[in-house]
């Protein structure tokens, strides 16, 4: 079949052939916009023989373009109706190799993945891996933190998510989107906002617009030795984002004079609001609080 899975006609034909209905509870919104799919493959910078882990291949719209770009794809899926469709509809040969030499499906919740075991000898996880996914939106942040914490040797995570979440991940200080999620992610990974995707690029169409971001390992790690404490400090600092940092820090330092002295010592204005602090200023803040 020469028509891409990610084109509306082919997707509709697959839906009809298998009497499919998109499962809302699994966050199923299939991409039917080839330009967007190709833009994701490009954002992930897929090169021949790249090792890719895809989360939620669905009917294979993105998977197919990853394979055609030369990737070897290990995919995690939970919908038991999909293995038959994927094995029938994906190209049976890619660059002269059989599908099963280029694609391996693991029917498992990605949050319960054991990458080493699941990859077997299909991928060599000592070598770099790229992660690419049009994520089920209801578990976007758990998946991101799970992947960051995993022992995977990944060079990038290219992920489609709700636009609002993408904006939070890539937010700059002094903006509405800047908050605990921003700092939790930016303290661990570099974030690049790749592209916006309109809701009309999906079938069925989600209520919200989407966006693709790419996370890559930080070249310079921030000076954080206790991430749990760092995340906690950030959450407390933003507990009431309209109030001053000083006000929010009452939780840590109840005495007003002491607190104001502490904030001044950090070189911060007493009226500063949490959203005005940069990542490095939060790093110093957490360090100083821990040292007290
Ligand atoms: N990649 C396809 C595309 O772009 O058209 C489908 C994307 S759809 C937004 C999300 C996919 O993730 C669905 O196929 C769904 O069944 C799958 N999924 C949902 N929860 C999952 C989980 N916990 N682990 C792995 N896959 C999951």
> Residues 257, 263, 265, 267: is their CA dihedral positive or negative?
negative
pLDDT 10s digits, 39-67: 999 999 999 999 999 999 999 999 999 99
Residue 1: what pLDDT? 65
Distance 57 CA to ligand 1 centre (A): 6
pLDDT 10s digits, 86-144: 999 999 999 999 999 999 999 999 999 999 999 999 999 999 999 999 999 999 999 99
DSSP annotation of 115: H
Report residues whose beta carbon is within 6 angstroms of any ligand 1 atom: 26-31, 55-58, 61-62, 76-79, 109-111, 134, 136, 139
* Predicted model pTM: 0.96
* Residues flagged as binding site: 29, 31, 56, 77, 109, 134
CA 56 to ligand 1: nearest atom: 12
Reduced to 3 states (helix: H, G, I; strand: E, B; else coil), residue 142 is helix
Distance 190 CA to ligand 1 centre (A): 24
The rounded mean pLDDT for the chain is 97
Alpha carbon separation from 168 to 1, 71, 161, 173, 213 (Å, rounded): 40, 30, 11, 11, 11
Mutate to test the pocket of ligand 1, among 136, 146, 162, 205 (most ligand atoms within 8 A of CB): 136
pLDDT over 80 at 20, yes or no: yes
Tokens of 283: 């790093």
Between CA 292 and CA 26 the distance in angstroms is 46
Alpha carbon separation from 23 to 9, 96, 107, 109, 143 (Å, rounded): 20, 34, 16, 15, 19
**Percentage with pLDDT > 70 across the chain:** 100
13 vs 2, residue with greater confidence: 13
pLDDT-derived band at 223, boundaries 50, 70, 90: very high
Reduced to 3 states (helix: H, G, I; strand: E, B; else coil), residue 110 is helix
């Amino acid at each position: 079949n020469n028509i891409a899975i990610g084109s509306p006609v082919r997707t509709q034909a697959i839906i009809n052939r298998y009497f499919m209905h998109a499962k809302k509870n699994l966050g199923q919104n299939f991409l039917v916009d080839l330009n967007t799919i190709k833009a994701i493959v490009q954002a992930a910078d897929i090169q021949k023989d790249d090792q890719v882990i895809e989360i939620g291949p669905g009917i294979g719209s993105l998977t197919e373009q990853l394979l055609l770009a030369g990737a070897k794809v290990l995919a995690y899926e939970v919908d038991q109706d999909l293995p038959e469709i994927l094995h029938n509809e994906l190209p049976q040969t890619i660059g002269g190799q059989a599908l099963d030499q280029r694609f391996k499906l693991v029917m498992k919740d990605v949050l319960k993945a054991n990458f080493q075991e699941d990859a077997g000898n299909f991928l060599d996880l000592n070598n770099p891996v790229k992660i690419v996914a049009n994520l089920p939106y209801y578990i976007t942040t758990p998946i991101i933190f799970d992947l960051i914490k995993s022992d995977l040797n990944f060079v990038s995570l290219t992920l489609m998510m709700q636009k609002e979440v993408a904006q939070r991940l890539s937010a700059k200080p002094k903006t509405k989107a800047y908050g605990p999620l921003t700092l939790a992610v930016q303290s661990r990974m570099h974030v690049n906002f790749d592209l916006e995707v309109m809701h009309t690029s999906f079938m069925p169409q989600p209520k919200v617009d989407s966006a693709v971001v790419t996370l890559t390992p930080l070249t310079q790690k921030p000076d954080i030795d206790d991430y749990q404490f760092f995340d906690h400090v950030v959450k407390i600092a933003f507990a009431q984002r309209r109030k001053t940092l000083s006000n929010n820090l009452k939780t840590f330092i109840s005495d007003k004079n002491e607190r104001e002295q502490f904030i001044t010592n950090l070189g911060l204005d007493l009226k500063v609001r949490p959203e005005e602090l940069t990542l490095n200023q939060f790093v110093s803040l957490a360090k100083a609080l821990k040292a007290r």
